[in-house]
Chains A and B, each alone.
Chain A
C-alpha cells in the first residue's frame, strides 16, 4: 500500500449546531412543580416551532470553513480558547461527528483519547475494558493479546486489572485510557488534553510517549490548553477562534502571538508585575553587593574587584489559566520554592469552576522545592470581589514533619473542602509558599476563580429573591423551644 504524503486533508469543514433557547431556572418548589406539569405542553410547542423552516432559532457555527492538511509523521496542535471549535474538529476528524459542510479525508487507523475514561464500561474490570476499548478502536483480539502486557506496564496498575472500573480512581482511569490508546499505535493519534488531569509524573510519561509515537512516524493531533505542552510537542498549529481559522503555521511563529493575544491581559499584567519585582529585587541585591564591595575594598585594597555579572535574560513565564486550572511554566524565580499548578476539581477529578454547595470539592497544588528550605504551602480562599480571606490552610497543618527543612523535589498536595462549607458566592484561590509572617518564597493571587452555587439546595427556596448573606455555608440543626410546639 502506498503511503500518502498527507494523512489528513480537511476541506472547508463547517459544523452547525442548533442551540435551544435557555429556559429560566426554577426559583421555588411551586414553580418547579408547575414547570414539570407544563413541560409536555412546552415540549410540543417548541418542537412545532423548531420544525418550521423559517425559525433560525439560534444557530451556532461551531466550525466555519476550516481547511488544513497534516503530513504523515507530523505533530499538529489545535489551539484556541474554550468554545473555539477544537473538540468539534477532533470529533469530525475521528469520524464521530459529521460535518454540515465540507469534508475531511483521513488515511489509516485513527486512535483517539477524547475524554477521561471514555468508552470504559463501568461494570467490567480493567482487563475486560482493555479488550473492549481495543476492539472499539479497531484492534483485533490477537493484537490486543500481544499488546496487553505493554498496556498494563504503561498504566502501572497491574494489581487492579481484575477490579471493576467503577471502583477505579480518576487517575487510574486516565492511566488505563491513555495506555490503551497510545499502545495501539494508530496511524493518527488524537489527544484531547485528557492526560493533563493526571498527576505530574504520569503526565510527563504521557508526553514522552507522545514524543516516541511521533518519532516512530505516526501522526499526532494535540489539543491542549497548556501552551507548554503545545510548544514541546507540536511542529505546526492551527489557531481557531469561534470556529474560524485565525492562522495556521509553525509553532514558533504562532505560539507567542497566541499567548499575546488570547491569554492576554492577565498574563501581561502578571508578567509586568513579575518583571517589576525582579527589577526591584535585582536593584536591592546590587545595592547590597556594592555596599559590601565598598566595605571589602576599603578593608583590603589588594583584592580584585568582582567582575560585573552579566545575567542572562530570564525566560518569560507561560501562564495558563482555564476553568479550574492554573499553571505556570518556564518560570524560574530566584527563590527556593515555586508553584507549578493549581487545580480545582470535583470528586470525579473533572476541572470545575462552578460548585454545588452540596458537593465537596478538591484543591490540588503542585509545587517544586529547588533548594532545601523551610516553607509550607498555604492555600487561601478569598471572597470575591471583597478579597476577604475566608480560609487559610496549609499543607503542614496535618503533617508537622513538613515544617522542618524540606528536601528539593516536586510536591503535590491535595485538599478536600467538604460540602456545605462556603456559602453561595464568588471566591478566588490564592497560593503562597513560605513561612507565615517570616518570608514568602512564592505567591500567586487569584489563580483560580470559582463560584459556589446553591440553586439546587433547599436554602434557595427561602432566599429566592437574592443570595443568602454570609460566607459560611454550614447547615446547622436547630432545636426548637416554642411556646406552642407545632
Chain B
C-alpha cells in the first residue's frame, strides 16, 4: 500500500479558505481576474453551442435585428406613420435595434443564466458572477457583427461616420452595464423564485415599447424627457442615433440620469448577487 512518495515537481496555487460569509460584500475583483480564462471559455462555449445544428449559424446574430427592422418599417413607418426625424425609417430603426439587441439579449440570457448553468455550479468552484457576465459578453460578440451591418447600411443611405461616432463605445458600454446590472438582480433572484423565468420575456417586451427603438424620443417634453433617462436604453438609443446618424438627440441631463441609474443597478446588483451566491448550489 505504501508506494514510494516522490514530491511533486511543482505545486501551484495558494491557500483557499472556505468559511461562512456574513454581511454584504462585493465580488473579489482579484479573483475574478484570475478566472478570466474561464470567462473567455464560457463565452466561447455559449457561442459554439448556440449555433450548433443551425443552417445560418452565426448569421442569426445579424438576421434577428434585420428581421425586426423590416417588421418595424412595415408596422411603424408604413402603417402607423411614426416620424423618424426625416431620415429613412429603416436606418433609423436599425440604429436603435442594434444596441437594443445588445441590451435585451444580454438581459434575457443573464437573468436565467445561473439556473441554466446548474450543472457546473453544483460541481465546481469559480466566482459565480462570471456566469451572467459571460452572457453579456456573448451578446457583445453578436453586437459587433450587427455593428458591421449597421456601418454598411449607413454607407448605403449616405451617412458618413464622423468623429463623434466614437462615442458609441460609451453608449454600448452603458447598454452592457445596464443589462449586466439587471441580469445580476434577476439571475440571483431566479434561483429562489422561478417566476423570474416567466417574467423576463414580458419584461423585455415591455422595455422595448418603453424605449425609443421604433419611435423617436423627441415626442417627450420636459421634465419627462430627463426623467425618461431612468430607462438607460433611452440614452443608448438616442446616443447611437446622435453618434452615427448625426441626429440632434443628445440630451446631457438624460445621459447623466441614465449613467447614474446604470451604475446604481450594477453596484446594487453585485451586492445582492454576492449575498445570495452561497445559496446557489443548494437551490439550483
Contacts and interface: CB of A to CB of B under 8 A. Distances in A.
A185 B52 CA distance: 32
Nearest to B121: A96
Interface stretch (A129-137, A295-303, A351-359): A129-137
A455 interface: no
A214 B4 CA distance: 9
Contact of B123 (A1, A98, A101, A112): A112
Given A106-B18, A109-B12, A216 B6 contact: yes
Nearest to B2: A235
Contacts of B48: 123-124, 128
Contact of A132 (B41, B122, B123): B41
A187 B14 CA distance: 11
B224 interface: no
A372 to B, nearest CB: 34
B229 to A, nearest CB: 35
Contacts of A140: 37
Contacts of B53: 123
A283 B68 CA distance: 89
A3 B8 CA distance: 10
Contacts of B4: 215
B15 interface: yes
A106 B49 contact: no
A99 B18 contact: yes
Interface residues of B, number: 38
A124 B49 contact: yes
B38 interface: yes
Nearest to B41: A135
B6 A95 contact: no
A171 interface: no
Chief secondary structure at chain A's binding surface:
loop
Contact of B12 (A73, A106, A108): A108
B78 interface: no
Contacts of A112: 123-124
A99 B125 contact: no
B260 to A, nearest CB: 32
Nearest to A136: B124
Nearest to B53: A123
A128 B49 CA distance: 10
A1 B3 contact: no
| Interface magnitude class on chain A | 35 or more
A118 B18 contact: no
B45 interface: yes
Given A119-B120, A121-B49, A123-B49, A101 B125 contact: no
Interface in B7-23: 7-8, 11-21
Contacts of A218: 8
A123 B52 contact: yes
B278 interface: yes
A95 B125 contact: yes
Interface in A63-112: 73, 91-110, 112
Given A108-B12, A118-B123, A17 B282 contact: yes
A123 to B, nearest CB: 4
A103 B3 contact: no
A73 B13 CA distance: 16
A119 B45 CA distance: 12
Contact of A141 (B3, B15, B16, B37): B37
B149 to A, nearest CB: 26
Nearest to B52: A123
A216 B120 CA distance: 28
B180 to A, nearest CB: 22
B74 interface: no
Report which residue of B4, B15, B53, B125 has the largest number of chain A beta carbons within 10 angstroms of its beta carbon.
B125
A371 B62 CA distance: 68
Contact of A131 (B11, B14, B41): B41
Contact of B282 (A73, A97, A110, A135): A97
Given A96-B281, A104-B17, A140-B37, A3 B7 contact: yes
Nearest to B38: A135
B30 interface: no
A249 interface: no
B20 A100 contact: yes
Contact of B5 (A96, A132, A215): A215
12 contacts: A17-B282, A95-B16, A102-B20, A103-B19, A105-B18, A106-B16, A107-B11, A114-B123, A187-B12, A215-B3, A217-B5, A217-B8
Interface of B: 1-8, 11-21, 37-38, 41, 45, 48-49, 52-53, 119-126, 278, 281-282
